[in-house]
Each structure stands twice: as C-alpha cells, then as structure tokens.
Structure 1
Amino acid sequence: MPDHSSRTLAIALLPSLLTGLQSNAAEPAYSAIAPILQSRCVLCHSGPQAPLGLSLDSLDQLLAGSQRGPVVRAGDPAGSELLKRLKGLSLPRMPLSGPPFLSAAEITLFERWIAAGLPPGAGSPARNAAANRPATPSPQPGETVNYSHVETILNQRCVKCHSASGIMGTAPEGYLLSSYAATLASGERARVVPGSAEASELVRRIRGQARPRMPYDGPPFLDDREIALIVAWVEQGARDAQGKPAAMPTGAKLRLHGTLGGNWRLDGLALKVNAATRLDHSPQAGDYVQVRGRLLQDGSVLAERIRPR
C-alpha cells in the first residue's frame, strides 16, 4: 500500500524547504560588494600608501586585513571593524570622502555578506581587481586640465586628513579637500588662486616651499608628475570637472609661507608692498617668512604683514 502519510508530510514541508533555499541563495557574495569597494574605497585603500596597509583591491587583500588585524570576521558583523567604520560606530567614519557615506542599502549588503560567512561567489574577482579598475583620467596633449584629472590624487593623498572626520579628527585648519567646492572655498582664506600657482597655498605646500610640506604622511610626497598636474590645473583656471574655470576670489585673505627674495618677491611671486604693510622683525632676503595679505582684482597679492618664521 502507498505510504500517504509520508507523501503528505513531504508536501507540507516543501514550502519551508524552498524558502530556506531561496534565503541562502539570496545572501550576497563578495562579487556583490566589490563594485562598491572599487568606486568608494580603493581611491585611498590601494597601493603602498594605503592607510594602515589596508588594501581593498581584491578579496584576498580585504581578508588579509590591516596592520591592526582582520577588518572582517566571518559570521560576526558586529565585531567587524569594516562595518563599524561604514556605520560610523568607529571613527573616522568611512569613506573619508563622505558625506555622502554609503547608503543604508549598501551597508546592509556588507552586513549580510559578513553574516553569511564572507562567501566569495562564483567568478568573484579575488585577485587582480586593480587591473580591471579604470585608470585615473589623464589630460590628452593640448587638453585643458580639469578637476577630474587631479581629484584622484587629492583623494588618495590628502582627504585622509582633510575631511570632516579624518584620521587627525577635524580637518587641519578646517580645510576640506573632499570635493571641488571645498577645495576652492575662500571663506576663511583662499588656498587656491585660479591662474596663479605661486599665490596658491595648496601648491606651495605640496612643492615644499611652505612648511610643513604636504601630504603630512610624506615622504614619499607627491611625485613630479602629480605636482605638475596640480600646478597646471591651478594655472589653467582651477576648472571644475566640466571644464568651467573657477571665479577669482577677489578680496579673499591669503596666508603664504616661503623664502623672501629681493624686490619683495616670495620665491617667484611678486608681492605688492606699501606704507601700510607691517614688516615685523625686519624681514630680509633669504628669510623664511609668513605673508598675510589679500588678493586683488588683477590676481596680484597685496601684502598686509610680512614676518620671519
């Protein structure tokens, strides 16, 4: 005789079995979070300058963790430092270029992946993910340099400190480099003077004309190619990613450091000095000095105070 009771039990259990299979199949693999890492994290976390040695170019590197140990723990989202950073439970919150930070849906994806045991997924790009990442845009011969050509350099080497919640806490002197608008901001003082690299504090810092030289974690500092690219960007009008030149921040305060030369030149920059200019402690040619001044309409610098440092 057929065993109808066994068949009935199997039919009754079928929906729950299917639900369990669907639930397991729906758990995200590394291949689902890799695009987020590539678009939001590897700007800083790749190569020899990766903070604390944490590279996020591949699954192998993510699992290797940082100098402080693992950043993800299989089955333990709450104990995974990566998730704490994404949520802001540990500081600084990541990515440093935020806000905006990752969306709630993106963070949940990481949380589910860790809870599921860090599955790699079929065809997961466990190695050599960096080789598939689009190269940093480079200007073509004769092309005007715009913000998209320098943004990656700033994100990789500067934003780790110069962001709202950087590794040093708040951004040094309140200067943010996490966006085009922030980089060009001139409310407190201008650090970028469109059309004049010599009058731009940002350029003087990365060249080492002003101390301390930046980035602060150097050496190595920016290489000659990177510096030349940022200089060209400033000289060509500090254009946005669409190629529109920045407005001249006429009247903005400036604070420049450098070596004073003859005829009131700061390195290669001619200063306008008049009877109202304060000359503290008799600055002489060859002195390392601080110049406080204002940007005039023609782009020249009116020195209000010069003093040796």
Structure 2
Amino acid sequence: MALQIKRAKMGICVVASNAIGWAMVLIGLGSAAQAETWDVVLPIFEERCVACHSGEFAPLALRLETYEFLMSGSENGAVVLPSDAAGSPLIARVEGRAEPRMPLDGPPFLDEAQIALLRGWVDAGAPGPSKPTELPLATEDPLADGIVTYPEVRRIFGQRCIECHSDNGKYETPPEALRLDTLADILRGGDRIAVIPGNPVASEVMRRVRGLSDPRMPLDGPPWLEETDIALLEAWIEGGARDAEGTPAPIPVGGRVRLRGTLSAPNAVDGAVFATHAGTEIRDAVQQGDRVELRARIAADGTLVAERLRAR
C-alpha cells in the first residue's frame, strides 16, 4: 500500500511538472507573439522618434509616423531589413553600433526591454498593422487657445536644431555649449541664455531664427523655419515658455545675454529694450541705426540691464 501511494505521488509530481513546463512554454510563445506585432512597437516610435522624424523636415526624409513611412526608408535607403535585426540600420542606431546613436535627444536612450521588442519585431519579419495607417487630415491649431506648451514646439527643435545642438549631434560639443534637446537644456542655455520667458524679442533663439543675429538658424538653411513655426515659437516664449503641464518657466534672473543687431532706438536693439545704469560701459559713440553689440543681464521682470554697449 505504501509503495502504491508513493508511486501515485510521483505520478502527480510528473503531471504537475509537465503542466508547469507546458505553461511556461505557452507563456513564452505568447510573449514572443506579442513582441512580433506592430502594435507593440508603435508606442516606442510615438514616444521617442516622431517628435523629430515626422513631416516635411524629417531628418534624412525618414518619417516614422506610420508603418508605411518607416518601411519606405530614408534618403540613404531602407532602415529596417525584415528578419534581419542585426543588419538593420534602425537597430544599429538605437543600440549605439552606428553614429549618431538614436534617439538623438538621449541619454536616456531606449532601455534594453524596448530594444529587445524592436529586435524581436524585425526578426519576426517586421509585420505591419492589419490595415494601412491613416494620418489625420488636419491637426489642431496650437495657437487656437492662446496657450502654447513645450510639446507643441518640441517638433521644431527636434527637426531643425538638435542635429547640431545636442551632445549626440554632428559636432563634438554643441555650438556655444547650447543644447536644445530637452526643455531643461533650452531654458538653461549655453554660454548665454537663449530663451527669456516672456521676452521673445530679446531671446537669442528668436533672433537667430528671424535672421536678426548672425548666423541665421537653422545653420543648414535655407529653407529657414516657416513663418507658422516662427510664430509658434514666439507665442511659446511670450507665454512664459510653458512646460507640458502649462506651468511658465522661471525668469533666469542675472543670466547673461549678448545681442548683436541694429540700434533701433537709443535704448533698444532690434526692438529689444534695455535699461542702462551708472556702471554701464558705452565704448563708442553709437547712434540709432548703427550695428552694435549689447551685453546685458536679465532683471527679475525679464527685461535687460545693459553692462556694455559698443559699435560692431
């Protein structure tokens, strides 16, 4: 009797072990199947890629808003080679095996789990959605409600600026130490403050994209920014350079600025008004209409206090 009970218990253990084993296999197959679908990898592109790689000015004409755009590749050819993740340029970029590493605003770059999902999808043949993706016919006007937030201007920086102005860009270091790949970097500025919340006319970013200061930006222009994008940037800065939640950025009190342009009034450079004080150094007998260089500090209300004014 004891022997029969022992054998029965062993049989139960074997059955249970087999059941657990098959369950693990099925779970593994389910995970693999999930990783091989377009719907699983699409959020990665939406969250980390399309801010730059979308629309007319997508870098290298590589658009990633839809499966169809992705599979059409870039100016250099295909970026996804179905069933060959190791040989796909897209995977090489996100893994850092090719330069520049993507996303260009990293670090942080994609995590290991996200990269594994992309690799699994490509190795599974890079299957597409069940039906072609349709882009919306029209987008909401970001100026309609009078409040512009950072997500609404991020595309402009991503498509036309961070190729140079990021640690992961085409230069060893960003020009003038100015990074433009995150909101914090934009507000921090570089050698000088580039965005003064509430004061777009004195903000170097606006002066460069309008061509008031040299060199005009983006450096690869023309084409320059479209007027609609310039107006959007201006409204964003005028409204306080708000973050995604709509909170205005703090004024960088004491921050340094340098304006090179035309003295449009006795106390203004291209319309950017400045105040002088007893310690302001005026090196030359400048007159209205002269080309000048103004070095100033930012006051608590976002206006400029001149430190030095000279002819240029």
SS at 1:270 equivalent:
strand
Question: Which residue pairs with 2:218 in the alignment?
Answer: 215
State the distance in 1 between where 2:141 and 2:150 align: 10
* 2:64 equivalent among 53, 56, 65: 56
Alignment partner of 1:32 is 2:40: yes
Q: Is contact 1:96–1:159 with CA below 8 Å preserved after alignment? A: yes
- Asked if 1:106 corresponds to 2:114, the answer is yes
The 8 Å contact of residues 145 and 232 in structure 1, kept in 2 or not, is answered as: yes
Residue in structure 1 matched with residue 197 of structure 2 by the alignment: 194
Alignment check: 8 A CA contact 1:186 1:252 kept: no
Secondary structure of residue in 2 paired with 1:271: strand
The code of the aligned residue for 1:89 comes to: R
Work out whether residues 30 and 124 of structure 1, in 8 Å CA contact, stay in contact via their aligned partners in 2. Answer: no
* 1:225 lines up with 2:233 in the alignment: no
Alignment CA distance shift 1:100-1:124 (3 Å): farther
The yes-or-no answer on 1:269 pairing with 2:269 is: no
Quote the residue 2:54 is aligned against: 46
- How far did residue 169 of structure 1 move? 4.3
* C-alpha separation in 2, matches of 1:25 and 1:147: 37
Letter in 1 for 2:136: A
Task: Give the letter aligned to residue 240 of structure 1.
Answer: D
What do residues 173-198 of structure 1 show as CA deviations (whole Å, max 9, x unaligned)? 22122222211115742111122112
Q: Give the Å deviation of 1:280.
A: 5.3
Deviation of the 1:135 alpha carbon: 4.3
Structure 2 segments unaligned to the other structure (5+ residues): 1-21
Contact 1:187 1:252 in 2 (8 A): no
Cα deviation for residue 241 of structure 1 reads 2.1
1:137–1:148: 8 Å Cα contact kept in structure 2? no
SS at structure 1 position matched to 2:252: coil
Cα offset, 1:162, TM superposition: 2.1
Q: CA deviation at 1:257?
A: 2.2
* Cα deviation, residue 298, structure 1: 4.1
Q: Say which SS state the counterpart of residue 191 (structure 1) adopts.
A: coil
Q: Distance in 1 between matches of 2:255 and 2:187?
A: 12
Change in 2 beyond 3 A, CA 1:281/1:92: farther
1:273/1:179 CA distance change after superposition, 3 Å: same
C-alpha distance in 1 between matches for 2:285 and 2:96 = 50
* Residue of 283, 293, 305 corresponding to 2:296: 293
Amino acid at match of 1:233: W
Query: Per-residue CA shift, 1:126-153, capped at 9, x if unaligned?
Result: x43x339x94672434x43332332233
Distance in 2, Cα, partners of 1:40 & 1:137? 23
Contact kept? 2:150, 2:242, Cα under 8 Å: yes
Q: Relative to structure 1, is the Cα distance of residues 289 and 81 closer, same or farther in structure 2, using a 3 angstrom cutoff?
A: farther
- Find the counterpart in structure 2 of residue 5 from structure 1: none
**Residue among 66, 72, 92 paired with 1:84:** 92
Question: Which residue in 2 is equivalent to 1:147?
Answer: 150
Matched residue count: 287
**Distance (whole Å) between structure 2 residues aligned to residue 101 and residue 135 of structure 1:** 29
**By how many angstroms is 1:82 displaced?**
0.6
Report the residue type matching 1:257 in the other structure: R
Show structure 1 runs of 5+ residues with no match. Answer: 1-14
Deviations 1:12-38 (A, max 9, x none): xxx8xx97x948745503333223222
Aligned to 2:10: none
1:172 aligned partner: 175
> What's the TM-score once normalised by structure 2's chain length?
0.80
Question: 2: CA distance between counterparts of 1:282 and 1:83?
Answer: 60
Q: How many Å apart are 1:120 and its aligned residue? A: 2.5
Paired residue for 1:243? Answer: 246
Q: Who is 1:12 aligned against?
A: none
Structure 1 residues 59, 286: CA separation in 2 closer, same or farther (over 3 Å shift)? same
